[in-house]
Structure 1
């Protein structure tokens, strides 16, 4: 029989799925684990942040790859157009908001499509997401 996943791994996977184009509930899982598990808060914060950042990087990479197949004008969805305007105005700093529901995924996708500086994109995505999980963690404690 397969044993349940360790809590930090389950949180990592939930955060990874939550930050791609699929919906998820990693914040709810983080709060539940903080209140009911013996794992350190730092480990839980790190697991959630790492999974969420990697998911956003997958979305960024999809945008980068899609750009090789389709011209930028093919971004027809209103959310993608808003994300493009936002990123053209603020550059990679706009990725500090990659943690936002609904808005974050298009920001990462379009940032990849625009081939924004990867190290700076990674830094901004990581800062925004780590701060978000730190706030959730502090509210749950």
Structure 2
């Protein structure tokens, strides 16, 4: 049970702006013989929930764009929004990417992508990543 909780928390943190990796924990638990589909579901749920937090943050991010401490410039926000409009909501299937995936989920909130569109696309992308980790765990290391 502790391994599942650790995997959930690691997967959650890995999807937020906190730099963290959940794949190594999933891989280790798979190698210990834990049931693979249970682990994939736990990791996918944690990672998707973390992405949902990014969506919420993005949804309210623009309320603070005039503050001195605001991280993004107006130009950066405009470029992110233009890219998202260019590639559309289907780009959320790539939210699993290590570089840019977390920002993509935040931009989806900024762009007011409906949550019921956001959630399944992100869950599919995140789930596919963990399925790939599962298949990689089947390859012998020798």
What SS is found at the alignment partner of 1:31? helix
- In structure 2, the residue matched to 1:40 is 35
* Cα distance change on mapping 1:105 and 1:78 into 2, 3 Å: farther
Normalised to the residue count of structure 2, the TM-score between the two structures is 0.85
2:46 aligned residue (51, 56, 70): 51
- In structure 2, the residue matched to 1:9 is 5
Structure 1 segments (4+ residues) deviating >2 Å: 67-71, 74-86
Unaligned segments of structure 2, at least 5 residues: none
Residues 8-27 of structure 1 aligned to structure 2 (within 5 Å): 8-27=4-23
Q: Deviations over 1:20-74 (max 9, x none)?
A: 00111100111111002x4210111011100000000000100001134438xx9
Unaligned segments of structure 1, at least 5 residues: none
Residues of 2 paired with 1:117 and 1:93: CA distance? Answer: 13
RMSD, aligned α-carbons:
2.1
Q: Is the 8 A contact 1:19 1:56 kept in 2?
A: yes
- In structure 2, the residue matched to 1:29 is 25
